[in-house]
């Protein structure tokens, strides 16, 4: 098979950005090209107070620029992912770069968290891992981050179900200055879930079985995560790493995705600037009317200070895991910089 032309993806990504009204400019001299470092992990106990969960421990990884800091990006991963979604590398040179480290190089202090029930964060009984618990825990986590980094603006960056959670937090928090929604959108017609990975018990999964998840936690069946990719634009090494580092979900949190997609309750309450970024090959977007994409997002986020949209050519659901991810991340970082300026 002919090797993909990375320069074409760069051009396509920039064209896609231009078509949706986001102006891409170069980074300011104060931030451009900074080195970035992984500055350790962070474990915070936060209050919850809903659905039988009093408090939880939220684990996160921090990535810091060496020089001047623009602000804080709090990254919220989607279902069956933890912080690894934002910190993938392709050692084979397939073009995938860590979204978290790239943002740090562009001047952001990045905090990529494990939601409740994933990674190294608390794992309550599965029936208690609901969207209400996710939103409350991340909301209080953001409060703690704001207190730790007083004076720095905070941009919430969600992916997929993590975008739903981020919307819920932005709808209620006075600490969030901008919201980035990736791998999630609003549309007038239902998307097709044909081929979506079967969910199986995490306790018996070859990857997660050794981690001793509580009963009734779920994950994707072995080898099924290709569904989240546009494979011509994905490195096999990245797909394999995705399988090795996958995490869990619960039946209790899954309805939150559909409820927000249909009801839009969180979106309607968001008032900060919003950027929506979706892959053109995402199963959530395929079959959508391209002309309706931008108006539908503006309608959903009707109270937001500003709404911008980006459709990324050649990318599937896992935007940060495709070969054109560096350009998607660049667009996110530069929009966020202008939104919190």
Summarised one tens digit per residue, pLDDT across range 82-132 is 999 999 866 665 656 799 999 999 999 999 999 999 999 999 999 999 999
As a whole number of angstroms, the distance between CA 49 and CA 51 comes to 7
Q: Residue 256: pLDDT band by 50, 70, 90 thresholds?
A: very high
Integer CA distances (angstroms), 170 to 268, 302, 304, 335, in order: 11, 14, 10, 17
H/E element, 111: strand 108-113
Say yes or no to pLDDT of 14 above 90.
no
12 pLDDT more than 70 = no
Mean pLDDT for the chain?
90
Q: Residue ranges of the alpha helices (H) in the chain? A: 6-19, 99-105, 131-148, 161-172, 236-244, 254-263, 265-269, 290-300, 325-340
Q: Is the pTM of this model over 0.85?
A: yes
pLDDT the model gives residue 35: 59
Q: Would you give the distance in Å from CA 166 to the centre of its chain?
A: 9
Q: What pLDDT, in 10s, does the model give residues 223-245? A: 999 999 999 999 999 999 999 99
């Amino acid at each position: 098979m002919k090797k993909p032309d990375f320069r074409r993806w760069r051009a396509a990504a920039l064209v896609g950005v231009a078509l949706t009204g986001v102006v891409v400019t170069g980074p300011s001299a104060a931030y451009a090209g900074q080195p970035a470092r992984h500055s350790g992990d962070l474990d915070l106990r936060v209050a919850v107070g809903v659905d039988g969960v009093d408090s939880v421990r939220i684990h996160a990884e921090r990535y810091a620029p060496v020089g001047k800091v623009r602000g804080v990006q709090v990254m919220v991963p989607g279902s069956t992912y933890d912080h690894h979604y934002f910190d993938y590398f392709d050692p084979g040179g397939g073009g995938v770069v860590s979204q978290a480290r790239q943002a740090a190089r562009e001047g952001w202090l990045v905090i990529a968290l494990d939601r409740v029930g994933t990674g190294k964060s608390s794992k309550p009984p599965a029936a208690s891992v609901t969207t209400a618990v996710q939103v409350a825990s991340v909301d209080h986590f953001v409060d703690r981050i704001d207190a730790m980094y007083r004076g720095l603006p905070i941009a919430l960056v969600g992916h997929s179900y993590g975008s739903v959670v981020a919307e819920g937090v932005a709808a209620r928090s006075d600490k969030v200055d901008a919201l980035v929604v990736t791998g999630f959108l609003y549309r007038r017609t239902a998307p097709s879930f044909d081929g979506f990975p079967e969910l199986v018990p995490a306790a018996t999964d070859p990857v997660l079985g050794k981690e001793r998840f509580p009963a009734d936690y779920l994950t994707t069946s072995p080898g099924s995560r290709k569904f989240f990719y546009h494979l011509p634009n994905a490195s096999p090494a990245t797909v394999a790493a995705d399988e090795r580092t996958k995490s869990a979900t619960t039946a209790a949190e899954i309805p939150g995705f559909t409820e927000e997609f249909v009801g839009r309750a969180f979106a309607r309450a968001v008032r900060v600037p919003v950027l929506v970024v979706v892959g053109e090959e995402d199963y959530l977007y395929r079959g959508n009317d391209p002309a309706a994409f931008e108006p539908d997002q503006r309608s959903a986020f009707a109270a937001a200070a500003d709404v911008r949209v980006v459709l990324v050519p050649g990318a599937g659901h896992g935007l940060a895991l495709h070969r054109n991810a560096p350009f998607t991340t660049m667009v996110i970082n530069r929009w966020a910089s202008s939104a919190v300026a």
